[in-house]
Amino acid sequence: MREITRRQFVKCLTGLGLGTLGGGALLSQLSCANSEEPSMTPTSTPIPPSPSPYAHEAMYYRQIGEGLVQCQLCPNRCTLSEGSRSPCRVRENRGGKLYTMAYGNPCAVHNDPIEKKPFSHFLPGSLSFSIATPGCNLHCLYCQNWTISQKRPEETDNLDLPPEDVVKYALKGESQSIAYTYSEPNIFYEYMLDTAKAARPKGLRNVVISNGYINPDPLRELCDAVDAIRVDLKGFTEEFYQKVCFGSLRPVLESIKIIQEEGIHLEIVNLVVPTLNDDKGILREMARWIVGNVGPDVPTHFSRFGPMYKLTNLPPTPVETLERARAIAMEEGISYVYIGNVPGHPANNTYCAHCGKLIIGRMGFYVTEYHLVEGKCEYCGNRIPGVWE
């Protein structure tokens, strides 16, 4: 692992013309990964003679005797023997304690438009200082960030960026929030939680872009520290989750309900993959579940799939399929439904659910029109759910 000091970080940014940490990419390390099938069993690795400087004792685990520890963070509940590493690639048993190797060492740092996440009802037009470490607790065959999500921290180029420095650079970049994103934030849970706690007193919001694959107790604690969570609801059958994502649907549905119960701003994204999760009947079931369990006002996005990673044999999602998914969702009562990854499509915009007029216009990730006054439609006065100020 290549360590980069804070001084080198600033020097690097200056060389890129980004010394003020304005919009645009600050660092994105996307090294090549091999194409082995994901393993859901811990891997045994020799313990280094001295711990990584980024090793940090994990939260949410228990010791179960004979040097074994069981991680309690996500539904995988991995049991690790001495020296073994979890399938998420960042948690390791060292001397009967569970350590995370993803703390203060992000491999990707950007200052992004909030619309890129995507959030459509949370501080539109603002910048979000975005960080990620390697690793993920799912192994989706179509992962767009597989070159970091399916890597270990030792296999990427990382910055030395403790929580207090994340906050400092977010403020320098004139960001209104910090986003935990790109890979799976739940696997760098401790780093995310400490950063979020440090950010709030400085007036920064915290947003999480997650697969929702986390156990209830750590999720509820996280909800106390963050302001918005966008969940990837990858499909709506156990078969899809098992065969394509190597996980389970049920815990994700439970997470979505918990986020809503905790009063955290929630948005849902479904990446529509041709032949795998685009069945009209299943899309209708998903829309009905959303309305019945978290209500009609949760912004829901249907995003276009592009061939990548291990699903290069499939075509991009036809726009007509996305439009059909959106129509089904609206028929079932979801008030705010978006189409993603199709720049310039009218469904990138926000329309008032009462009068139907365009109230937020977008081109790509940028806001072009804004017709809200104190969170209400400028034309009819209807209150639009979201975080606007």
Note whether 358 and 368 are same-domain residues. yes
Question: Could you tell me which residues come within 8 angstroms of residue 292 by beta carbon, excluding any fewer than 6 positions away?
Answer: none
Q: Which residue has the higher pLDDT, 334 or 37?
A: 334
Cα–Cα distance for residue pair 159/309, rounded to 1 Å: 25
Q: Is residue 28 part of a domain?
A: no
Structure confidence at residue 37 as a pLDDT band (50, 70, 90): very low
The pLDDT of residue 39 is above 60: no
Looking at residue 52, its pLDDT comes to 75
* Contact assessment for residue 346 and residue 355, using Cβ atoms and an 8 Å cutoff: no
Question: Mean of the pLDDT values across residues 313-339?
Answer: 98
Q: Is residue 35 part of a domain?
A: no
Boundary residue ending a domain (100, 129, 144): 100
Q: Is residue 10 part of a domain?
A: no
Looking at residue 40, its pLDDT comes to 55
Residue indicated by tokens 């070159």: 147
Structure confidence at residue 43 as a pLDDT band (50, 70, 90): low
Note whether 328 and 226 are same-domain residues. yes
Cα–Cα distance for residue pair 333/361, rounded to 1 Å: 22
Question: Could you tell me which residues come within 8 angstroms of residue 284 by beta carbon, excluding any fewer than 6 positions away?
Answer: 328, 331, 332
Give, to the nearest 10 degrees, the angle between helix 189-199 and helix 216-223: 20
Note whether 341 and 319 are same-domain residues. yes
Looking at residue 53, its pLDDT comes to 83
Structure confidence at residue 25 as a pLDDT band (50, 70, 90): very low
Note whether 90 and 225 are same-domain residues. no
Looking at residue 3, its pLDDT comes to 42
Q: For the beta carbon of residue 172, count every other beta carbon within 10 angstroms.
A: 15
Structural domain that includes position 231: 108-347
Q: Is residue 340 part of a domain?
A: yes
Q: What is the CA radius of gyration of the chain?
A: 21
Q: What is the tens place of the pLDDT at every residue in 352-377?
A: 999 999 999 999 999 999 999 999 99
Residue indicated by tokens 């291990």: 310
Q: Which residue has the higher pLDDT, 389 or 178?
A: 178
Looking at residue 389, its pLDDT comes to 85
Structure confidence at residue 240 as a pLDDT band (50, 70, 90): very high
Q: What is the tens place of the pLDDT at every residue in 183-219?
A: 999 999 999 999 999 999 999 999 999 999 999 999 9
The pLDDT of residue 378 is above 60: yes
> Over 292-350, what HEC string results?
HHHCCCCCEEEEECCCCCCCCCCCCCCHHHHHHHHHHHHHCCCCCEEEECCCCCHHHCE
Q: Is residue 139 part of a domain?
A: yes
Note whether 156 and 235 are same-domain residues. yes
The secondary structure of residue 361, as a DSSP letter, is: E
Note whether 52 and 183 are same-domain residues. no
The pLDDT of residue 31 is above 70: no
Q: Is residue 55 part of a domain?
A: yes
Amino acid of residue 305: F
Structure confidence at residue 45 as a pLDDT band (50, 70, 90): very low
Note whether 210 and 313 are same-domain residues. yes
Note whether 273 and 143 are same-domain residues. yes
Question: Mean of the pLDDT values across residues 306-320?
Answer: 96
Q: Is residue 155 part of a domain?
A: yes
Note whether 273 and 367 are same-domain residues. no
3-state secondary structure of 203: coil
* Contact assessment for residue 274 and residue 303, using Cβ atoms and an 8 Å cutoff: no
Question: Could you tell me which residues come within 8 angstroms of residue 141 by beta carbon, excluding any fewer than 6 positions away?
Answer: 244, 245, 309, 310, 311
Q: What is the tens place of the pLDDT at every residue in 58-92?
A: 999 999 988 999 999 999 999 999 999 999 999 99
Q: Which helix (H) or strand (E) holds 291?
A: helix 280-294
Note whether 206 and 244 are same-domain residues. yes
For 205-324, strand residue ranges (E) read 205-210, 228-232, 265-272, 300-304
Question: Mean of the pLDDT values across residues 231-250?
Answer: 98
Looking at residue 41, its pLDDT comes to 58
Mean pLDDT rounded to a whole number for the chain: 89
Count structural domains, the chain.
3
Q: Is residue 286 part of a domain?
A: yes
- Residue 156 is part of a domain; what is its CATH number? 3.20.20.70
Note whether 361 and 247 are same-domain residues. no
Share of the chain above pLDDT 90, in %: 85
Structure confidence at residue 34 as a pLDDT band (50, 70, 90): very low
Structure confidence at residue 94 as a pLDDT band (50, 70, 90): very high
Q: What is the tens place of the pLDDT at every residue in 121-177?
A: 999 999 999 999 999 999 999 999 999 999 999 999 999 999 999 999 999 999 999
Cα–Cα distance for residue pair 290/284, rounded to 1 Å: 10
Share of the chain above pLDDT 70, in %: 87
Note whether 90 and 122 are same-domain residues. no
Question: Mean of the pLDDT values across residues 235-258?
Answer: 98
